[in-house]
Structure 1
Amino acid sequence: MTRVPLEVCVDTLEGAWTAAENGADRIELCAALSEGGLTPSRGFMVAAAKLPVPVYAMIRPRSGDFLYSDLEKTVMLRDMETAEQAGLAGIVIGAVDSRHHLDRDFLTLALKSIRLPATLHRAIDTVQDYPRAIEEAIELGFERVLTSGRAPKAEGGLQLLEQAVRLADGRISIMAGSGITAANAKRILKQSGVRELHASCSSVKRSQDPQDLETRLGFVAEEGIKNTDGSAVQSLRNAIDQFTETAV
């Protein structure tokens, strides 16, 4: 079996390098992972373009749902141009319409406006008709779909992930994400049939003094700050590699 790609989502440049140096095959570049991932700044994109692995920029102008206004869509199109100009390898994007179907008109325009490949993100987990959305993602020209199988964590969406793989039938890659760890990676790969995984591989860095000024003023959460954990990346990469070795 060929290598199963591991994509790691990050929201700091240090985290991006940590992921790349410890086994990540691709980086999803975000701002504010605490909000589910938002569009990174231009400076962040330019700096991340120097990483030794492909970097895909999240294109998401705000937290919350994926029904965007015309003004927000204009911002997203400009951010996509910025990602291309920065030299990144691709983008991650998604949008739905008022009926909770993929916003085909906008996504068609978006994908035609740049030359970069694109991943459809977990907006697909919010659609009314999941199988239809898989077909639409293929028709729209997405490279892959990031999905949890419409569950809070991918481990709870294995049945739908398996269905997505069958529906895709090799025409598009299905990448499982949300709650992926070294402990459950083999089970998810085996039972769903997906051949790409997405994870944050983060751990909480706690303040030495929970009463320090930044915490008291609300800039740092009391539970600490999540950072990309190199050992978690390595452990997940090893678990994936062990699965591929036994599956040969």
Structure 2
Amino acid sequence: MTRTLEICVDSAEGLKVAIAGGADRIELCSALALGGLTPSVGLMSHAARAPVPVLAMIRPRAGGFDWSRDEIAMMEAEIAAAAQAGLAGVVIGATRTTGTGTLLDAPTLERLAIAAGDMDITLHRCIDVVDDPLAALDLAADLGIRRVLSSGRATSAPEGTARLAEMMRHAASRLTVMPGAGINPVTLPCLLSALDPAEVHASASKPDPGPATLTHLGFHPEGARRTDAATVAELKRILSAQAG
């Protein structure tokens, strides 16, 4: 089995580095430090020229995934921009929190899926905040979503291995459950042995402290990270070496 390595990036430089390292697919974002927000139109247009498929994160703000009517309309416009730029797909998610818990917001996801049309669609880690991820997988499959990114409702995918295995069994051949969060060259081998996933998602990044003056003035965030080609290449090597 040939495994797919998806790398999330939030800049033109990150895109270039990820491809140089051997990424098979890109999740294109802005503000990865906030979990990834919708990339700019300019970055989407630039990324459309990449030699690998690129999916744009569609998330208009940081925080949770219960969207207002205005935010839903914004996401529809962002999906249209991704399609117009020529990207392969989009990464979406929406939840609804009630007095009895949190579940996927089916009407909103249906609207977003309709807006995406024939584009490739990933459901992002909003599935990690719902109460019943197995029911969420059923809904995602019914909507034609091709894959779900998840850490198994844990801080990292290696910590959520047992739940991820359950989700993968439940999804069967209907869609792909793609482990993500906390995946690096140290944690990946055990994850592959435990789950044998078809696709893996990682940031493959290293600290990027930046100039002290820019950080002091608020132009460069503390704790910033940047994509590292060597890390991407090592992840790809491990995936290839342990291919089933």
How far 1:114 sits from its partner (Å)?
A: 2.6
CA distance in 2, matches of 1:70, 1:159: 36
Is this contact kept in 1: 2:90–2:116, CA < 8 A?
no
- The residue identity in structure 2 corresponding to 1:220 is H
CA distance in 2, matches of 1:50, 1:235: 25
CA distance in 2, matches of 1:122, 1:220: 26
Is this contact kept in 2: 1:4–1:240, CA < 8 A?
yes
- The residue identity in structure 2 corresponding to 1:163 is E
Percent of residue pairs identical:
42
How far 1:113 sits from its partner (Å)?
A: 2.0
- The residue identity in structure 2 corresponding to 1:177 is G
Deviations for 1:49-93, whole angstroms, at most 9, x for unmatched residues?
A: 000000000000000000010110000000000000000000000
How far 1:222 sits from its partner (Å)?
A: 4.5
CA distance in 1, matches of 2:222, 2:82: 34
Equivalences for residues 72-221 of structure 1 within 5 A: 72-99=71-98, 100-115=102-117, 116-207=119-210, 210=212, 212=213, 214-221=214-221
Q: What is the match of residue 56 of structure 1?
A: 55
Q: What is the match of residue 19 of structure 1?
A: 18
CA distance in 1, matches of 2:196, 2:152: 12
Is this contact kept in 2: 1:117–1:143, CA < 8 A?
yes
Q: TM-score, normalized by length of structure 2? A: 0.95
**Unpaired runs of at least 5, structure 2:** none
Distance change in 2, residues 1:69/1:222 (3 Å) = closer
How far 1:204 sits from its partner (Å)?
A: 1.2
CA distance in 1, matches of 2:217, 2:125: 33
Distance change in 2, residues 1:82/1:4 (3 Å) = same
CA distance in 1, matches of 2:5, 2:237: 11
Is this contact kept in 2: 1:93–1:120, CA < 8 A?
yes
CA distance in 1, matches of 2:193, 2:114: 35
Q: Where has structure 1 moved over 3 Å in runs of 4 or more? A: none
CA distance in 1, matches of 2:40, 2:141: 29
Structure 2 counterpart SS, 1:80: helix
**Unpaired runs of at least 5, structure 1:** none
Equivalences for residues 16-55 of structure 1 within 5 A: 16-55=15-54
CA distance in 1, matches of 2:196, 2:106: 27
1:232 is aligned to 2:234: no
Q: TM-score, normalized by length of structure 1? A: 0.94
Note the aligned Cα RMSD (angstroms): 1.2
How far 1:216 sits from its partner (Å)?
A: 2.0
